[in-house]
Amino acid sequence: MPNSPSDTPRRITVQRRGPLLVEGPVEVELEDGTTVSSDRFRVALCTCRRSRRYPWCDTSHRARSSGPDDGAASGG
């Protein structure tokens, strides 16, 4: 069945380093067959597999270095 003419392709933004950005809402089926969903306007899907909130990105892909500070605030 073709999609209805009003359907536009869902955009997914790919980055070499960082999550896949998908227009929400999304439902993700995991390897064990369970599904999780998010109705955020855009969703960041983990591609580095290091996220502790997989399949959602938690910025664990970031480079790490020895440094003195954690910079600014939390909760934006």
Partner 1 sequence: MEYDHEGPPLPSARGPLSAAVRDYLLSGGLLPPEEAVAAAPAYGDDLQLALYQCYELHYRGFAGVSPDREWDPDLLRLRAALEHRFLTALRADTDVHDSVADAVGDLLVEPVDGKGVTHFLRNEGELWHLREYAAQRSLYHLKEADPHAWVLPRLSGRAKAAMAAVEFDEYGGGRPDRVHARLFADLMGDLGLDTTYGRHLDAASAECLATVNLMSLFGLHRALRGALVGHFAAVEITSSPGSRRLAEAMRRTGAGPAAEHFYDEHVEADAVHEQVVRHEVIGGLLEQEPHLEPDVVFGIDATGHVEDRLAARLLGDWRAGRSSLRTPLPS
Task: Considering only residues 10 through 39, tell me which ones interact with partner 1, judged by CB under 8 A.
Answer: 13, 18-19, 21, 38-39
C-alpha–C-alpha distance, residues 41 and 22, integer Å: 9
Among 53, 52, 28, smallest CA distance to 38 is for: 28
**Burial of 46 per CB tally in 10 Å (0-12, 13-18, 19+):** buried
43 binds partner 1 per the rule CB under 8 A: yes
Closer to partner 1 at the Cβ: 10 or 73?
73
Q: How far is the CB of 44 from partner 1 (least distance, A)?
A: 5
What is the contact surface with partner 1 in residues (CB under 8 A)? Answer: 13, 18-19, 21, 38-44, 52-53, 56-59, 62-76
